[in-house]
Chains A and B, each alone.
Chain A
């Protein structure tokens, strides 16, 4: 999109992911968002920073994806009244991000829904932890915990409150069902139970070490987050890692994708009462993790991506082992896929359950794996600027069904594709260094990293301060955009199908609670 026709100044920042930065006035925010939305774009993230000590006020940033690539819109808000026009009607996914921005920084969207999002009872509503003048050592009283859920009234309607503590060992979230008999009329999520102040913690860390924290934002996306973080940092430092390092990062990312997809495929079968699938997929996943441990020194690939490159090179022996194991996984996966496709009972549970029609997916801004299962043909790895994927010709997965079966199918397709990509990467691994020396981190830098993780696009926005420290870091999981869609996917289904629908999205709790 050409933004100069709107009379806007566009600054292009070079990096692994080129980004355009557009400062806007408050009256331009909504029209610009509308223009991007109408042109087929969608929202990645919305976050704010406290810049009262530098340029004054608060800086609101909105990261959008348009037909060219990543756009970051910047809106400076006055310190006294940091209010901004809500964009939640244009991008429904922005609603919770706006509420979280208020909880953390006190920047208020002019929207009807003013309930807190990540703030539970842990701090009062006049405290904003991400402001630089916030004193974390000062104790404060527990705050009000009331959270009015939307009530559905009518003959025979009743509520089922589920969580945050569940019968199984899973992450905490509260789901409020309004049901008639077994049929779900409405479900409302409440998240934020695992808010642990990751963004605040980033601000105490040197930029060159914080990739470790980034890897722990959501444990199942360790590679995606640490790569996105390093991408942002490398953008600020103006360096580019050696080619081999970038290829190895892609190998890690694909292996992370395979491991998660295998785990999910087994869990989906298990949730439909087909526990033999869980046993088989878990075994496949475990084999993969053990090879990870042997080849890369980490089962879940924590801390293998470091600023400037990768932590350790892949030796020839393990390269061969990795290559040799791929055909075995492929053939077993083929067998398992046939079993899934031919199993009447399983297909009966999967088909038509939790359907998100392509039009609804587009309207709500569904991204990543779930988006592709609902006809949204966007995969960041298919973008020509995203190295090394520009050289790999990634075949996009997809389904138009948008139901649990569609998301299962996309997982199978993507696992096969990731195995194919792994083979190409391993066979053509460039022989260069796998790490670059980093210069001193410049102060006042701003960089963004965007990586197509297994769940969807993972974005990390980084601002650096004096002495190589982090001024502000916002790690953004695609679960932010996709959680609200789970609510829509569940409407009209029956209560016992919700766990299956939820699992088919398998969104992160910790990654979005931060």
Chain B
């Protein structure tokens, strides 16, 4: 690994960390517009994070060191994931070390730590949230893996940069299997990022929460890191989606300036479109009953498997 590759890798991670809250801000802004509200502006998540970093943390007396550790684990895992997922260019040295299966594992690790932290304090809500989070997680992961397998059958690799290179720069082809996989992936994205219709990120009703219930006991810098990690998680998922289904515009290798001059605007155009789409989905849907979530994610899994079968049958 030469110095330039390493620097570019760090820049890619830093870029994701910095830009991630902007996506949340944009989604919230679009939601406000769709509801005829004015909205707080797309920089609001940054203000929230800054505010939280300036506050004093309140920690339950019976919290174990694990409880303090988990926000950092969350943030680190999501930052690491951002190092594997190509957002602007495909030349990511870390991606050689960790493929998509490792990526799913990384997300699972983060979730497991979050669930442990939620149960650490011993409140009813924490345990309830952890239980529901695991329910969503163990159903969403197989569907996500199936989506990756569909794409890897096409590219003959489980490494994301390779997939992008094949899909974006290989011979132009229409892959029906990816159509199924993309719908499945969208459903997984909604579930994994605690968006409507699976979870409601803006609810104050502690009994209905899934993700929020797991982080109820956090405050100040810990909460800031968790909020930031959540934003990063959404950014990562969206970038996975771009890499698999709309990879055009991504610079190859470490990228040269003309390529990057295309890659950066392309990414932002895609983010703007996806952010609006996400807000639209969240506006026209109600939150489903929690026991509909398994049906929802089973459909996602089924669609991903269908994509796989279509690929095998059509032989693309």
Contact = CB atoms under 8 A, between A and B. Distances in A.
B286 A349 contact: yes
Interface in B19-44: 31, 34-37
A495 to B, nearest CB: 5
B36 A283 contact: yes
Interface string B166-199: 0000000000000000000000000000001100
B309 interface: no
A348 B288 contact: yes
Contacts of B209: 167
A279 interface: yes
B286 A343 contact: yes
Nearest to B206: A167
Given A271-B205, A499-B208, A276 B291 contact: no
A85 interface: no
A168 B285 contact: no
Interface stretch (A88-96, A154-162, A247-255, A307-315): A154-162
A273 B197 contact: yes
Contact of A168 (B36, B196, B204, B291): B204
Given A162-B206, A495-B207, A273 B196 contact: yes
Interface string A487-505: 0000000111111000000
Interface string A260-303: 00000000010111111011100100000000000000000000
Interface residues of A, number: 32
B2 interface: no
A327 interface: no
B216 interface: yes
Interface in B265-316: 283-292
Contacts of A341: none
B207 A498 contact: yes
Contacts of A169: 204
A276 B283 CA distance: 6
Given A162-B206, A167-B204, A272-B286, A182 B197 contact: no
A127 interface: no
Contacts of B35: 275-276, 278-280
Interface in A152-177: 158-162, 166-169
B289 A348 contact: yes
B206 to A, nearest CB: 4
B22 to A, nearest CB: 22
A345 interface: yes
Contacts of A429: none
A159 B124 CA distance: 8
A49 to B, nearest CB: 40
A346 interface: yes
Given A160-B124, A276-B35, A494 B289 contact: yes
Contacts, number: 83
B203 interface: yes
Nearest to B201: A273
A273 B210 CA distance: 13
Nearest to B291: A494
Contacts of B36: 279-280, 283
Given A168-B204, A275-B35, A349 B289 contact: yes
B286 A496 contact: no
Contacts of A162: 124, 206-207
Nearest to B285: A345
A283 B36 CA distance: 10
Interface in B131-181: none
A499 B36 CA distance: 25
Contacts of A345: 197, 285-288
A496 B290 contact: yes
B282 to A, nearest CB: 8
Contacts of B283: 275-276
Nearest to B287: A273
B135 to A, nearest CB: 10
Nearest to B203: A273
A273 B283 CA distance: 9
Given A167-B216, A182-B291, A348-B292, A274 B128 contact: no
A283 B205 CA distance: 22
B200 interface: yes
Instruction: Find the residue from B203, B207, B209, B216 having the highest chain A CB count within 10 A.
Output: B207
A168 B285 CA distance: 22
B289 A496 contact: yes
Contacts of A495: 128, 207
B64 interface: no
B228 to A, nearest CB: 21
Nearest to B202: A275
Contacts of A349: 286-289
B190 to A, nearest CB: 12
Contact of B205 (A158, A160, A167): A167
Contacts of A182: 290-291
Contacts of B208: 271, 496-497, 499
Interface in A122-171: 158-162, 166-169
B124 A346 contact: no
A42 to B, nearest CB: 31
A273 B284 CA distance: 10
Interface of B: 31, 34-37, 124-125, 128, 196-197, 200, 202-209, 216, 283-292
10 contacts: A158-B124, A168-B204, A273-B197, A274-B285, A276-B283, A345-B285, A496-B208, A497-B208, A499-B205, A499-B207
Given A276-B35, A348-B286, A499-B208, 14 more contacts: A167-B206, A168-B205, A169-B204, A273-B197, A273-B285, A274-B285, A274-B287, A276-B283, A279-B37, A345-B197, A345-B285, A349-B287, A349-B289, A496-B207
Give the 6 A-B residue pairs with the shortest CB-CB distance, closest first: A273-B287, A168-B204, A345-B286, A279-B35, A160-B124, A496-B208
